[in-house]
Structure 1
Amino acid sequence: MKNVTDSFISLGYWPSAESFGFNTDILATNPINLSVVLGVLIFFGKGVLSDLLDNRKHRILKTIQNSEELREGAIEQLEKAQSRLRKVEMEADQFRVNGYSEIEREKENLINSTSKSLEQLENYKNETIRFEQQRAINQVRQQVFQQALQGALGTLNSCLDNELHLRNISANIGMFGTMKEITN
């Protein structure tokens, strides 16, 4: 250490008018220069290095803190999204169930209305059949009556002579006359 202090003291005695040159004494110049440079670096650089490391530490901590906040926010958003997904799935299931229920109701309504329509058509068919049967029966009766009447007229015409025919007409006119008097 004594050499280092002696070196500093001897620096003050160098004449400034001398020329610049190389000192070939390695033991005298290198350790002194290195010790001075290291001393200055340690003395002045300690605060700068400490500040740099503190700034770096603060930035890393802030980045970690921001990452944690972002992670928490992402977890929160994920939970919200999962909650919304569950809600949407429940609504979709409800729509599906309601849709199936609605389809079943529509199916039952369609079956019921078709059944009623078929029943009405069956009733109309039966009424039409009865009507046509009655009409056919009436036509047959009318034809039978006409044939019977024609047969009776034919029998009467063949059996009646003019005198019997005139008596029958007179009797009928008499009956009409009495009927007329009763109604008046």
Structure 2
Amino acid sequence: MKNVTDSFISLIFLSSAEGFRLNTNILETNILNLSVVLGVLTYFGKGVLSNLLDNRKQKIVSTIQSSEELCKGAANQLEQARARLREVEMRAREIRENGYSQIEQEKEDLINVASVNLKQLENLKNETVQLEQQRVIEQVRQQISRQAVQRALGTLNNRLNSELHLRTIEHNIDLLLGMKNITD
């Protein structure tokens, strides 16, 4: 620090006593040269540096603003996606509930149809059984009638002699004559 002060003093002293001349002492002139360079850079470079810093600042601000806009857009898209997700979930729940209720309805319909079919089959079975019973009863009647006629014929043949036969013929002739007289 003392050298810097001495160099300024020697520069002032030298310039006032002898006029302006160059100092060739490297240690003294180095600090002086540096201060002159820094002064010139500060004076002329201040505008350039401030322009560079202002441009950089504007770029940073615009980048931040565009990032904020992108963030807002992303937040809006996220909210829209969440709303769409809620709608899709609600629709899926409705479809699931409708599917379950439709399955239950179809199940009940199938049970009802099966019940009706079962009743129809039961009625058809009962009708078939009744028809079969009537057919069997009719067959039994016919067999009994045939057997009764065969027994009666057998009994008649065994008991029918010529005298009974003649009496039956005479009786039938009398009946026919009586009917003829009634009609005349």
How far 1:55 sits from its partner (Å)? 1.0
Aligned to 2:120: 120
- TM-score normalized by structure 1? 0.80
Within 5 Å, which residues of 2 pair with 1:99-178?
Answer: 99-168=99-168
Using the alignment, how far apart are the partners of 2:58 and 2:155 within structure 1? 141
Q: Are positions 1:10 and 2:20 aligned together?
A: yes
Instruction: Name the SS for the 2:138 alignment partner.
Output: helix
Unaligned runs of 5+ in 1: 15-22
CA shift in 2, pair 1:171/1:24, >3 Å: farther
CA shift in 2, pair 1:149/1:110, >3 Å: same
How far 1:159 sits from its partner (Å)? 1.1
Using the alignment, how far apart are the partners of 2:176 and 2:32 within structure 1? 175
How far 1:161 sits from its partner (Å)? 1.8
How far 1:119 sits from its partner (Å)? 0.5
Q: Percent identity?
A: 59
Q: Which amino acid aligns with 1:139?
A: Q
Q: Which amino acid aligns with 1:138?
A: E
Using the alignment, how far apart are the partners of 1:157 and 1:130 within structure 2? 40
Q: Which amino acid aligns with 1:95?
A: I
Aligned to 1:90: 90
Aligned to 2:68: 68
> What is the root-mean-square deviation of aligned Cα atoms in Å?
2.9
Task: Describe the superposition over 1:9-46 as per-residue Cα deviations: whole angstroms up to 9, x where unpaired.
Answer: 837xx8xxxxxxxx741355223311221111001111
The number of residues matched between the two structures is: 170
- TM-score normalized by structure 2? 0.80
Using the alignment, how far apart are the partners of 1:82 and 1:37 within structure 2? 63
Using the alignment, how far apart are the partners of 2:141 and 2:130 within structure 1? 16
How far 1:109 sits from its partner (Å)? 0.6
Instruction: Name the SS for the 1:10 alignment partner.
Output: coil
CA shift in 2, pair 1:176/1:101, >3 Å: farther
Unaligned runs of 5+ in 2: 1-7
Using the alignment, how far apart are the partners of 2:173 and 2:111 within structure 1? 69
